[in-house]
Chains A and B, each alone.
Chain A
């Protein structure tokens, strides 16, 4: 079945440093979503990417969808302590309505 992996599993950065998490799917995706889960919280929708090669920005966050629609990345510029949490990608294959969540990247930001 479809598998979605993310690297790294954990990342500790100093406040102000950049952070990137990478998401790779075993199959081609129709679209991909990104979620953030704060410690003890629930996943909160950040963004959706649909087109091959798409790039979207939200303030300090930049999201990319690969040309082959099998991978994606989330880059945070100049991290802040409020960025702490686990970032999940969630991919949807063709012919299905369900989103498969990636393994997640847990980000810790040291002040």
Chain B
């Protein structure tokens, strides 16, 4: 079964440093998303991406965050200057279509980001 692949699985970084989280969505999917989950809490929407641009973003996704699809396969989330409160599990997801997508979202296994 096709998978969404995320790397690294765990990233520890110093406060103020830049991090890039990487994702390889399912190859025939067109819509890409980043969500995050602070330990034990709910899954929060960050951003959606389609046709090489952001289609929607949440209040969490401020100027410190950016996304990119630098080639035909990778989808990255960059945090420019990490803060302690950015510590969370970051999930990438993709879907074949938006709206009533029959298959729902396929989530990757996540990157656990720890800011120290």
In the complex the two chains form, what is the Cα distance from A100 to B102 in whole Å?
A: 17
Minimal beta-carbon separation of A43 from chain B (angstroms): 5
- Whether the pair B100, A31 counts as a contact (CB closer than 8 A) is yes
- Contact indicator per residue, chain A 8-33, by CB within 8 Å of chain B (1) or not (0): 00000000000000000000001101
Residues of chain B from 81 to 116 with CB closer than 8 A to chain A in the complex? 91, 98-110
A contacts, CB < 8 Å to B: 30-31, 33, 35, 37, 41-48, 50, 88, 90, 92, 96-104
Please, which residue of chain B has its CB at the minimum distance from the CB of A4?
A: B42
Contact partner of B99 (CB less than 8 A), chosen from A41, A92, A100, is A92
Number of A-B contacts (CB under 8 A): 61
Q: Is the interface of A mostly helix, strand, loop or mixed?
A: strand
- Whether the pair B45, A97 counts as a contact (CB closer than 8 A) is no
Which residues from A are CB-within-8-Å of B107? 42-45
Instruction: Please give the number of chain B residues whose Cβ is less than 8 angstroms from any Cβ of chain A in the complex.
Output: 26
- Whether the pair A48, B100 counts as a contact (CB closer than 8 A) is yes
Which residues from A are CB-within-8-Å of B109? 41-42
Given A88-B42, A98-B56, decide whether A42 and B31 contact each other with a Cβ distance below 8 A.
Answer: no
Which residues from B are CB-within-8-Å of A103? 42
In the complex the two chains form, what is the Cα distance from A93 to B54 in whole Å?
A: 18
